[in-house]
Chain A
Amino acid sequence: MAALETMVRMGELAVSSAPGHKLVSLGLGSCIGLALLDRRMGIAGLAHIVLPQSQGHAQDNPRKFADLAIPEMLSELEGIGAHRIRLEAVLVGGAAMFAVAAAGLEVGQRNEEAVRDILRSVRIPVVATATGGTRGRTIRVDVASSEVTVREAGGKDSELLAGSRTLEVAA
């Protein structure tokens, strides 16, 4: 079954409610791929977060920062019918790619902490993670079923969060 895949690249985010649609971030290193899922509505969002805090930097692209990307993704998800109370989070990435970290390269860990802090403050539970370590990862989110798969370099896709079909018909 060929699914339509939307690539969510560095500093980008996407939301979708289209059946058969997948949101994908290829080769996450220190960045975090944050998936937010409304399983009942078959709605999903994916943000490819680069840095933890904007620290007041006025930027052309606020979506690369955890503190600005997450509120924006929430409002976009709600805009297409997701309910905040039902959202579940999946985190992938945040690796330390280089064993001898040059200055600033330990950013992966700081990214994960920042994302977890923000999710806690908006009361969204983290239901699955593949984070830390030293390997890069690819995340795929199936919008309709909320299935999330992850793949490491040299490996195969493995299921991180099982998908489920929504039987309710949206009113």
Chain B
Amino acid sequence: MSQYTELQLDALRELANIGSGTASTALSGLLGRPVDISVPKAEALPFAEAVEAAGDAEAEITGIVLGLIGDMNGTVLLLVPPPDADKLCRMLGVEPDDEFALSALGEIGNIVGSSYINALASMTGMEIEPTPPATATDFLGAIVETVLAGAAMNGDVALMLDSNLVVEREDCSISFLLVPDQGGVDLLLSRLGLA
């Protein structure tokens, strides 16, 4: 399957909505501050366009990536502009240039990603486990295409479930992307009765 119907995309959007709601609650608990979520997007795009949809390819961004293994393989990617990553560190009481800054960000990724995935898994009755987080600050294009390359073997279309988590009154936002492998999307849709 390389094309999704509007009904399927709506269902995936609703899954993303519930997943990111759970993730925002977890982030809010971690930071001790209220966190808002945007209405998530679900887009099925050819790879070349998917990178462009994520933003300016040469913009510097901090990416936190978690692999997904189990009934559905794929990747969770959190994208944070470097100034916002610094703010997140400070909210956790870690200075951005501290040696623990990257592991603090990794931990945010771990908690936000895991809560999203757990919500998704329990809704669909799938067993999905996240792998430990890895972090990099680099060109947005380089980070996003490397994640998409992991899903490129079995298809030419990337399904991206995109949510935005905004920490209130801190002008700090995290873009959350779930990129399931092709087989994972089909399974997800079949569990929803929409395959």
Query: A residues bordering B, Cβ < 8 Å?
Result: 9-12, 26-31, 50-51, 55, 57, 59-61, 64, 95, 97-105, 107-108, 134-138, 153-154
The 9 lowest CB-CB distance pairs between A and B, nearest first, are A27-B141, A136-B142, A102-B67, A29-B142, A9-B48, A29-B146, A98-B134, A27-B139, A26-B57
Q: Which of chain A's residues have a CB closer than 8 A to the CB of B133?
A: 100
Q: Is the CB of B145 within 8 A of A99?
A: no
**What are 5 pairs between A and B in contact, CB < 8 Å?**
A51-B153, A95-B142, A104-B149, A107-B150, A153-B139
Chain B residues 112-131 with CB under 8 Å of chain A are 131
Q: For the complex, is B75 an interface residue (Cβ under 8 Å from A)? A: yes
Contacts of B143 in A (CB 8 A): 27, 29, 97, 136
A105 touches B139 (CB 8 A): no
B65 touches A102 (CB 8 A): yes
Check A50 against B152 for contact (C-beta < 8 Å). yes
- In this complex, what residue of A is CB-closest to B66? A102
Q: Cβ of A27: which chain B residues have Cβ within 8 Å of it? A: 51, 57-58, 139-145
Whether B35 is near chain A, meaning CB under 8 Å from some CB there, is no
The reply on B132 being an interface residue by CB < 8 A is: yes
A142 CB, nearest partner CB in chain B, Å = 18
Q: Of all chain A residues, which has the CB nearest B73?
A: A103
CB-defined contacts of B152 to chain A, threshold 8 Å: 11, 50-51, 64
Chain A residue numbers with a CB within 8 Å of B132 are: 100
Q: Once the chains bind, are B149 and A50 in contact (CB under 8 Å)? A: yes
Question: Is the Cβ of A60 less than 8 Å from the Cβ of B156?
Answer: yes
Residues of B within 8 A of A (CB): 2, 46-52, 57-58, 60, 63, 65-67, 69, 75, 131-146, 148-150, 152-154, 156
Contacts of A134 in B (CB 8 A): 136
B150 touching A104 by the CB < 8 A rule? yes
- A contact residues around B69 at 8 Å (CB): 103
Residue of B nearest to A154 (CB): B60
Q: A9-B51, A10-B48, A107-B149 are in contact. Are A136 and B156 (CB under 8 A)?
A: no
Cα–Cα, bound, A61→B50 (Å): 15
Q: Which residue of B lies closest to A96 (CB)?
A: B146
Residues of B within 8 A of A97 (CB): 63, 136, 138, 142-143, 146
Query: Residues of A contacting B149 with CB < 8 Å?
Result: 10, 29-31, 50-51, 104, 107
Residues of A within 8 A of B140 (CB): 27
In the complex, how many angstroms separate the beta carbon of A62 from the nearest chain B beta carbon? 10
CA distance A64 to B46 in the complex (A): 12
Instruction: Give every chain B residue within 8 A of A64 (Cβ-Cβ).
Output: 47, 152, 156
Known contacts A9-B51, A59-B156; A137 and B135 CB within 8 A of each other: no
Q: Is the CB of A31 within 8 A of B150?
A: no
Q: Separation in Å of the B79 CB from the closest CB of chain A?
A: 13
Query: What's the minimum C-beta distance from A154 to chain B, rounded to whole angstroms?
Result: 6
Partner of A26, one of B131, B141, B153, B156: B141
Q: Which residues of A contact B51 (CB under 8 A)?
A: 9-10, 27
Partner of A12, one of B48, B75, B141: B48
Q: Complex formed: what's the CA distance from A60 to B156 in Å?
A: 7
> Are B67 and A103 in contact, CB atoms less than 8 angstroms apart?
yes
CB of B129, distance to nearest CB on chain A (Å) = 12
A171 to B175: give the CA distance in the assembly, Å. Answer: 55
